Amino acid sequence: MPHILLVEDDDRLSRLITKGLQESGFEVSMAYDGIAALKLALQKDFDLIITDIILPQKNGLEFCSEIKALKPDLPMIMLTALGTTDDKLEGFDAGADDYMTKPFEMRELTARIRVLLKRFSQQRQQKVSVLTYEGIEMNLEQKLVSRNQVPIQLTPKEFNLLKFMLENSERVLPRSEIAEKVWETHFDTGTNFIDVYINYLRKKIDRDFEDKLIHTKPGMGFILKKNYEQV
Q: Output the DSSP codes for 73-120.
A: TS-EEEEES--SHHHHHHHHHHT-SEEEESS--HHHHHHHHHHHHHHH
Domain 3-127, second-level architecture: 3-Layer(aba) Sandwich (3.40)
pLDDT at 149: 93
DSSP assigned state of 228: -
Closest CA to 152 of 127, 184, 161, 173: 161
The two domains 3-127 and 130-224 share their CATH topology (first three levels equal): no
Domain 130-224, second-level architecture: Orthogonal Bundle (1.10)
Average pLDDT, the chain: 90
Residue range 181-225, pLDDT digits in tens: 887 666 554 458 889 999 999 999 999 999 999 999 988 999 999
Q: Which range is least confidently modeled, 24-38, 110-124, 141-155?
A: 110-124
pLDDT at 157: 86
Average pLDDT rounded to a whole number, residues 89-103: 91
DSSP assigned state of 149: T
pLDDT at 73: 86
Per-residue pLDDT band at 231 (split at 50, 70, 90): very low
Distance of CA 4 to the CA centre of its chain: 14
pLDDT at 141: 82
In the beta sheet, which residues pair with residue 136? 133, 147
Q: Locate the domains of the chain by residue range.
A: 3-127, 130-224
